[in-house]
Amino acid sequence: MNFNCDAFDPLDPNGNITIKWDVISWTPDGYVAVVTMYNFQQYRHIQAPGWSLGWTWAKKEVIWTMMGAQTTEQGDCSKYKGNIPHCCKKDPTVVDMLPGTPYNQQIANCCKGGVINSWGQDPATAVSSFQVSVGAAGTTNKTVRVPKNFTLKAPGPGYTCGPAKIVKSTKFVSADGRRVTQAMSKLLGSSICRFYSFDGQLVCQFLKTLIKLIKIHTVATDRKLGSNLSCCP
């Protein structure tokens, strides 16, 4: 008997945080994307010190610039001369900017110190976004790859994230509400992260341990029974 344990919050079994990766324009060696997190949980906020989002690049991409967020480490950018990337790590970790960030470094729904309210209680503040300019990434739909192995950390036991999938293009409404633009549909990635309940982990581990003990007991009993039978005439 095998168990695949996928723990969840029993108070909100369908709640999740959806991460969307929308490519909005091309650059000479890559693209610009808006990354948005939607907290589709009914009750659970992401509280201070806020979220941190990580992923692994599919190729040898670098981050040239960011708005509304920053990576925690720059990594080794020694091969670049003159214009130095914001981050050269294969597996960057990104955190939100703090309130009071200069306006020329902000985008919509950023700069709240990583705090995101729940959709069930306040949809208007249940979103967090940042913009990233990616280089060494390719400049066509066929050469660009969506990042993989998304990780989301926040106060509490944590979240588990599924693989990114291609989804419908996101539409962006201008601040004055008079213009709508659309992301490039062939390069959209979406990953869903679910809250990992500590109690669920304990139950899962208990079941695994119980099954292991049952197997050990069964083997020992079979051996003992076989030994007794061998003594019979």
- What is the per-residue DSSP string for 49-78? T--EEEEE-SSS-EEEEEESEEES-----T
Top CATH class, 17-196: mainly beta
Element (H, E) at 201: helix 198-230
Tokens 């945080």 belong to which residue? Answer: 17
Tokens of 24: 């909005």
- Smallest CA-to-CA distance from 33 within 74, 66, 72 is with 66
Regions of the chain where pLDDT drops below 70: 1-10, 184-191, 195-208, 210, 217-233
d(CA 99, CA 207): 45
pLDDT of residue 8: 53
Task: Answer yes or no: are the C-beta atoms of 169 and 98 closer than 8 Å.
Answer: no
Tokens 């208990």 belong to which residue? Answer: 206
pTM assigned to the model: 0.76
Residue 156, φ and ψ in degrees, nearest 5: 115, -175
pLDDT of residue 204: 55
Tokens 């503040």 belong to which residue? Answer: 125
In DSSP notation, 127-139 reads EEEEEEEEESS-S
Is residue 141 classed as helix, strand or coil in its secondary structure?
Answer: coil
Is residue 159 classed as helix, strand or coil in its secondary structure?
Answer: strand
pLDDT of residue 96: 98
- Smallest CA-to-CA distance from 85 within 103, 65, 107 is with 65
pLDDT of residue 1: 27
